[in-house]
A = this chain, B = another copy of it.
Amino acid sequence: MTYAIPALDERARSEAQERLDGLVKPLGALGRLEELAAWLCAAHGTVPPRPLDDVRVVVFAGDHGVSASGAVSAYPRELTASMVRVFLAGTSGVNVLARQVGARVRVLDVAVDADLDDVPEEVRAAKIRRGSGSIDVTDALEPGEAARAFAAGRRVADDEIGSGADLLIPGDMGIGNTTVASALVAAVLGLPADDVVGTGTGIDQAGRARKVAVIERARARAGERVSDPFELVTALGSACTAATAGFLVQAAVRGVPVVLDGVFPCAAALVAREIAPEAARWWLAGHRSTEPAQAFALKALGLDPILDLGLRLGEGSGAVQAVPVLRNARAVLTEMGRLADLA
């Protein structure tokens, strides 16, 4: 299947840069704000760009078989289900940070290893399965589940955009997420696990060594299947990876900008780009994670994060903090005076 991804409007980008050059400041003195202002103009096809008033964070929650043994994470798998309730209560990190910029947070139980019968139906609308296979010994997903999760992610993007979103931020929650994300980045980019694995939520060097070993075993098991993105996700990924990839591709199809967060959404972005190479033009990087795999993914995507605040929380918590910078970029273009009008 191919996807019709709109191009960015290069005429609007040039027009924006001309306008920036005429503002009351030295040429280029607003640094990244200028680049982002011009990018937003190119994305919206207008100078100035539209306001970014309706920002949505969608947190994809799921568990992983690899976390069952406690070998790869500092936290027990049961935490994922508990955190879904925290998101619903509005007291997670990303809930708090999203409120600071007026963004909404939606959490989706895509593959939490629990039956969350008491949560609202809309939270479970994209549920694919409970947990995933432990990638070192078996496939993460059953045949067909990756495609179903991808389609579910596309529908979520359509829902959000249909109800008015003008900026999307995919978040992630799941004990074991950095292991799966690292496996995907290593597989897509052909890197040794030891290069991409970090310390996740806070494991020690022995924990890190186990994580590297898990990923190497998983890749050996997956073999050549990793060259097909859906097979890759089936073998080494998770339902959340596929759903996030679908979300990213559909945002691009609809021409809505996305701000990527940490290592998990960036790994999903690498997968999404394998599925729809032109989708990447609609994505920005919000925040540099402390995970090496994210740095490799961003380099491959040609993206430079807006912020580097040392967060390693996931949830979309880094990316949502980049929203004020994007709004600043629009504001300077819109509100600053012009050199030509100087007394």
Contact = CB atoms under 8 A, between A and B. Distances in A.
A227 interface: no
A79 B82 CA distance: 59
Interface residues of A, number: 52
B91 A31 contact: no
Contact of A99 (B99, B202, B313, B331): B331
A79 B30 CA distance: 18
* Interface-centre pick from A79, A83, A95, A310 (highest chain B CB count, 10 A): A310
A83 B24 contact: yes
A223 interface: no
A312 interface: yes
Contacts of A317: 30
A26 B202 contact: yes
A115 interface: no
A143 interface: no
A336 interface: yes
A70 to B, nearest CB: 15
A4 interface: no
Contacts of A101: 324
Interface in A98-125: 99-101
Given A25-B313, A100-B324, 11 more contacts: A24-B92, A26-B202, A26-B312, A28-B202, A29-B93, A30-B317, A31-B290, A31-B311, A85-B343, A91-B337, A92-B337
A232 to B, nearest CB: 28
Per assembly, the copies of the chain total 2
A165 interface: no
A211 interface: no
A119 to B, nearest CB: 12
Given A331-B99, A335-B96, A312 B31 contact: yes
A308 interface: yes
B290 A86 contact: no
Contact of A335 (B91, B202, B309): B91
A220 interface: no
Contacts of A25: 93, 313
Contacts of A343: 82, 85
Nearest to A75: B26
17 contacts: A24-B93, A25-B93, A25-B313, A26-B75, A27-B202, A29-B202, A29-B311, A30-B93, A30-B311, A31-B311, A92-B337, A93-B336, A96-B332, A97-B332, A100-B328, A306-B309, A309-B325
Interface in A20-65: 23-33
Interface in A124-162: none
A307 B310 contact: no
Contacts of A202: 26-29
